[in-house]
Amino acid sequence: MRALFWHDLRALLPWGALCLVACALAMGYAATSMELFKMAPNQAPLTDRTMLLATMLGGVLSGIPLGLIQLVPELAPGRWALLIHRPLSPNRIFWSKVAAGLLLYSAAVGLPFAAVVWWSATRVPVPFDGRLALGGLVNLLGGIPCYFAALLVALRPSARWLGSRALPLATALLGTSCVAGSEELWQALVVLGVVIVLLAVSAWASFLSGIRPPSPPDFSGRRWLLRPGTARPALALCLLLGLYGLGVGLGNVTGDTSRLVPGRELVAILKEAGDLERLKEGSPGSFWDANRIFVPVPDYHAATGEDDVHWYYRRDAGQLVGYDRYTASIVGRIGAQGFRSLGPVRPFEGTLRYLNRGWLVLDTAAYRLDLKQRTVRKVADAKTLGPVRMATANRFYNVAAESELLLATNDAIVVVNEEGKRRVSLPLSLPGGCAGVAVTRAQNPAHSFPSWGDYLAVVWPCAWQGTMTLSRYSADGRSIGQKAEPFTHAHEWGLNHGVIAGLAPSFVFAGWLLTGTELPPRDLPRTWGSALFVLLGLWSVAGGAICLWLTRRYAFLPGPRLLWTVLCLVVGLPGILVLLASHEGSARLPCHRCGRPWSVTLDSCPHCGARPQAALGDGPKILAAS
């Protein structure tokens, strides 16, 4: 095994080196592009979109060629014989090849990434934390499914291109994109684990099936798991899970995806239509997002003209840290008791709610900042206001001044000035769970210049369904009135739902269960709605029946037949399409007795029981014992 491992490693080394150079160029470009173009000087290179794209593409474009190059040259009949015919079990041959391939893959993508991480930690004036590398790392791991998919493609030289060949690649790419789009690390790892295991098992099974004949299903042993007939449905299932995700995504087109994020949202409406400032509580971004670790002070350079120091609020340390832009060294830290250039500072306590160049708001207190002078002053305290849930600078009626702060607590919306004096307090109880709230001041349409009158507060529940509450207050904060209005504009049926329903009824049922999509659509009369239910159910059953018929026709063994039927019952038409695409049918020849076609792999005709006709008997034979 070791000999084969080293042999493969040596044979693949030039290609691995090529992948390494390509990855290094892509990541190097991504890492330096921000500096080159000055696009976002205070962003961490490791979490930059270009870097994440480079790691994702680097993984995919290294994994696929390495997998193909590793097996395609071996597939010539003679070389395949030399590979297989050796005193090693096929399992060990396969896994030693995989070990060599994965080691080279890891080196090809891992070394450039490690270099970028080192550069980011030592040469970039941005706080560094190991968690910043998670996004890129997971993206690089996303190339492993592509490697196994490429092995699968290579192992099926006689398969139909659109069938068995494209399917693994599509699954791997879908898995990689799901990984890149995951909100949480565990989600990415689960997707990676599922896709890698499925593709690796499929490649393993495909490798063995080139050597071993189909055997009767053994439900107690692992051999059953390794059968390609089993692996393919699993593969298809993976693809369809992705499709399901796509279906949910499509279903969200008419609504706002933010409704699915737990937490609350404060929208301060500014003067101009569509100019919204959204603040979300409990949504710090994806797991790879630097926002989970630090928050750069926004607009600081533009407002102050000070370009040589970058300021960041480190969430875990509870302090503002300044970096010299040119030397990447720390200029100093600002804590609850002020600035210190050396040594530790007393951290701010609480969870960050809001930060800009003039304000730092935590759930426990609000501070006025002057970063140019490097001073900090507490202006409000949770002891008097209650814990702050959300905050924004009071830009909603005076953009330039930013001298006031809007704070949302559990039972009021409070506006305070920079001295900490409460200007107005709107009694407004925020609902539990997730919700959105918008606060604005009505514009007086009678005047040409902005003139602001009453406060308006709109509270809507999560999922944008149910009742919206509209509250009105006078300028001094007195409640004038309140009214409730039905509020449903999301989750209504649209074309996308129709398409999804036609393709896979179960997607719609799942959407109904999981996201509250209206089913049946409210516009349909009741009888039509019931008919739609029946139709969707019938279509689902029809999918299972068609699949059952196909698998009987293709002489599937009982295990795979059951799996495929259940799959098509659940996912409908996509399942049937995947079955047709991935099925590598055995030859079917007409029976010499009954004339009906049957698979050449069977020992007897399933229709009339006739044994296969003996080999051509039209010539003389001399068959004698030697």
Partner 1 sequence: MRPCLVECMEQASGTGAEAAIRTRGLTRYFRTKPAVLDMGFRVERGTVCSILGRNGSGKTTTMRLLLGLLPPTRGRCWLLGEESTRLRPETRARVGYLPEGLPLRPGVRVRQLQAHQARCWKHWNPEVYRSIVHHFDIDPGSKTNQLSRGQRAGLCLALALAPEPELLILDEPTLGLDQVAHRAVLEALVHFAQQRGNTVFIATHQLHDAERISDQLIIMDGGTVRASCSPETLLCRVRAYNLIFDTAPPPRGPLKIRGLLELSRSDRSLRLVLADPDADALTRIRDLGASAVRESELGLQEAVTAFMARTRQSEAAPADTSAPLWR
Site for partner 1 in 554-593 (CB under 8 A): 586-589
**Nearest-approach distance from CB 30 to partner 1, in angstroms:** 34
In the bound state with partner 1, the residue whose beta carbon lies nearer, of 342 and 615, is 615
Tell the smallest beta-carbon distance from residue 228 to partner 1 (Å): 12
Nearer to partner 1, 213 or 274 (CB): 213
Q: Quick one: which segment of 4-12, 27-35, 247-255, 293-301 binds partner 1 (CB under 8 A)?
A: 4-12
In the complex with partner 1, the residue whose CB is nearer, 209 or 517, is 209
H or E element in which residue 609 lies: none
Question: Which tokens is 400 given?
Answer: 């330039």
Nearest CB to partner 1, comparing residues 305 and 620 = 620
Using rule CB under 8 A, residue 89 touches partner 1: yes
Q: How far is CA 232 from CA 149, 213, 579, in A?
A: 12, 17, 9
Q: And the tokens for 275?
A: 């100019």
Alpha-carbon distance 210 to 235, whole Å? Answer: 18
Report d(CA 520, CA 186) in Å as an integer: 35
- Least separation in angstroms between residue 141's CB and partner 1 is 31
Residues 47-86 that bind partner 1 (CB under 8 A): 73, 76-82, 84-86
Whichever of 38 and 85 has its CB closer to partner 1, that residue is 85
Kindly state whether residue 11 participates in binding partner 1, applying the rule CB under 8 A.
yes
Sheet with 467-473, strands from edge to edge, namely 276-281, 264-269, 435-443, 452-461, 467-473, 479-486
Please tell me the distance from the alpha carbon of residue 473 to that of residue 455, in angstroms, as a whole number: 5
Pick between residue 78 and residue 525 the one whose CB is nearest to partner 1.
78
Q: Which of 381, 601, 608, 609 binds partner 1 (CB under 8 A)?
A: 601
When binding is defined by CB under 8 A, the residue of 130, 181, 193, 214 that contacts partner 1 is 214
Q: Is 449 exposed, middle or buried (0-12, 13-18, 19+ CB in 10 A)?
A: exposed
Minimum Å gap between C-beta 160 and partner 1 is: 11
SS3 state of residue 119: helix
Residue with token string 């599509």: 170
Task: Examine residue 99 and tell whether it contacts partner 1 (CB under 8 A).
Answer: no
Nearer to partner 1, 273 or 623 (CB): 623
Strand 452-461 versus strand 467-473 pairing type: antiparallel
Beta bridge mates, 254: none
Is residue 624 within the footprint of partner 1 (CB under 8 A)?
yes
Distance CA 120, CA 328 (A): 10
- Of the candidate spans 220-228, 270-278, 486-494, 617-625, the one that interacts with partner 1 by CB under 8 A turns out to be 617-625
Q: Out of 171, 182, 209, 517, which residue is the one contacting partner 1 (CB under 8 A)?
A: 209
Side-chain-side CA neighbours of residue 496 (13 Å)? 17
Task: Determine whether 43 is exposed, middle or buried from the number of CB atoms within 10 Å of its CB (0-12, 13-18, 19+).
Answer: middle
Residues found near partner 1 in the complex (CB under 8 A): 2-4, 6-7, 10-11, 73, 76-82, 84-89, 209-214, 586-589, 600-601, 603, 612, 614-616, 618-626
